[in-house]
Chain A
Amino acid sequence: MKPAVILVGADKGGVGKTTVSRALLDYLDEHNIPARAFDTETPRGTLHRFHPDITEIVDVTHTSDQMRILDTLEDASVKVSLIDVRAGQLSATLAVLRDIGFLDAAKEGEFNFLLFHILGSSIASLDEIAETAPFATDAHYYLVKNYVNDSTFFEWDPKTYQDHFDTVKSATDITIPKLDELAYEQVDLAAVPFATFRDNRTADGDPADNSFVLRGYVRTWMRNVAEELDEAGVIDTLDVKSKPKAEPKPRLKARAKSRK
């Protein structure tokens, strides 16, 4: 398969971009698509806390870290690289990627480039679209409305939004639904991927003691997020033959003893 780079970012902090990155990593894992992640929140990355096995903390403004990410795209056994861009640095990061020829390479089709632009509820987020759009002409551009932290997007009137949205012809709308606050908080405290919490496991893979109700909320939320990403055609864009993981089978209540 062709390598793919998924960039997740926003020009405003607190819009839940790391949550979307975590959801994307879970989504890819559910489709048996191995991924690696780069957390640009140096020195302590939030994404790294939840997915330490596959996440490196990098500074994309440093040439050495740019090389760590981009020069290994072809060589890496894992073909999907997700970059969680530090809050407020989306435009700057895109400018860096343009300057080093990354965007041109994407245009040439050397790899697939997916840009997840997480929008905040303020009207300023709409202006961000205009700033980001020029960088996204050769990307699969996703505009993500994130309700996970209960944003209401009350400042947006439909016409204003549509006008901004229309400026980016190839953009796809994605809505991340709200997750119950307590469930979100408990996953945060557990510091594990959403799927691990749902499956009632600790980070080490041992049985956990998570609430059934909270696991249920996480399960339903993950299912809804997956539906959104499916509808947006993310898997098709990645150009991989994915095979969704089988749903866990119900435990057998009783197992017949084998007879010799």
Chain B
Amino acid sequence: MRRRTFVYIACSPNPRVGTTLTASLLTTYFAVTNRTVMGFDTNPYDGDFARLHPKSTSVIDIAATRGQIDMFDRLVVPDETPKIVDLWHPAYRRFFEVADNVGFLDEADRSGVTPVLLYHADASQKSLDACQDLGARWPGVEIAIVSNEGAASLDPAHPGHLSRFPTEHGFRIPPLNAVAMAAATDPETPLKELLWDAPDDAPPPPDGLIDWIEDVLAQFRAFELRHALADMEFLW
């Protein structure tokens, strides 16, 4: 049976909510499970996602038609290779305009490509409004809320805020100490190299990093399993 091709879109209209970290961790997840992945960094100037994963990630200028072709023409290919878009916040509005204009959802549906919006929530009303708009704009497309507690913690005075987002599923990226975070986002030593491919005599990773990454990757695995179970034809 041919498997679905997922397109993960890490997005938010707001800056500093952790889209790049999520895109990077997801790339790491596919790398450590020995799968090819294709990434798109929509920050054409100084994108960290492309810097962290230069081999698998293309830099895209979505304001230019060439850039749109370089990305969307590949996003609709049902080749079972997961695609990850790190949507830079200034490109947020343009991305969805272009997607609607070129008929991305219709083509994805026709070709068996499944877009998943990894919407990065924060405490602002703008974040909630934009997410609700997205739900109305792309009905039927899965929105998974990402709560990055280190980058954009939600207001503890409003514990029910997250439940107002139009989704049933989500990911929680726990906070991480500064030393471990620096190691996790060091372009010189990718996480896979640091934690999985390190030589025996390498120094131990910073405290907290292994537990943290295992927690996050387990959530990605759970997400995939949920979809795999939903796609099972002979399960009752």
Binding site for B on A (CB under 8 A): 180-183, 211-217, 219-220, 250-251, 253
Contact = CB atoms under 8 A, between A and B. Distances in A.
Interface string B36-79: 00000000000000000000000000000110110011001000
B68 to A, nearest CB: 5
B72 A213 contact: yes
A181 B65 CA distance: 9
Interface stretch (B20-28, B100-108, B151-159, B177-185): B100-108
Contacts, number: 42
Q: Which 8 A-B pairs have the closest CB atoms?
A: A216-B102, A182-B65, A213-B69, A216-B103, A212-B73, A211-B69, A250-B110, A213-B72
Nearest to A181: B65
Q: Interface centre among A180, A211, A251, by most B CB within 10 Å?
A: A211
Contacts of B98: 213
B109 A213 contact: no
B73 A253 contact: no
A182 B73 CA distance: 15
Contact of B104 (A211, A216, A250): A216
20 contacts: A180-B65, A182-B65, A182-B66, A183-B65, A212-B69, A212-B72, A212-B76, A212-B102, A213-B68, A213-B72, A213-B98, A214-B65, A215-B102, A216-B104, A216-B107, A219-B103, A220-B101, A250-B110, A251-B110, A253-B112
Contacts of A212: 69, 72-73, 76, 102, 107
A216 B102 CA distance: 4
A220 B66 contact: no
Interface of B: 65-66, 68-69, 72-73, 76, 98, 101-104, 107, 109-110, 112
Contacts of B102: 212-213, 215-217, 219-220
A216 B72 CA distance: 10
A144 B214 CA distance: 62
Given A212-B76, A213-B65, 5 more contacts: A183-B65, A211-B69, A212-B107, A216-B101, A216-B104
A74 to B, nearest CB: 42
Contacts of A180: 65
Given A250-B109, A250-B110, A253-B112, A214 B103 contact: no
A181 B109 CA distance: 27
Contacts of B68: 213
B73 A213 contact: yes
A6 B69 CA distance: 36
Contacts of B110: 250-251
A219 B109 CA distance: 17
Nearest to A211: B69
Nearest to B74: A212
A253 B112 CA distance: 8
Contacts of B104: 216
A103 to B, nearest CB: 42
**Most chain B CB atoms below 10 A, which of A182, A216, A253:** A216
Contacts of A251: 110
Nearest to B2: A253
B22 to A, nearest CB: 25
B58 to A, nearest CB: 15
A45 to B, nearest CB: 29
B69 to A, nearest CB: 5
B7 to A, nearest CB: 13
Pick the most buried of B66, B69, B76, B112: most chain A CB atoms within 10 A of its CB: B69
B69 A214 contact: yes
B76 to A, nearest CB: 5
A253 B233 CA distance: 15
A23 B66 CA distance: 24
Contacts of A213: 65, 68-69, 72-73, 98, 102
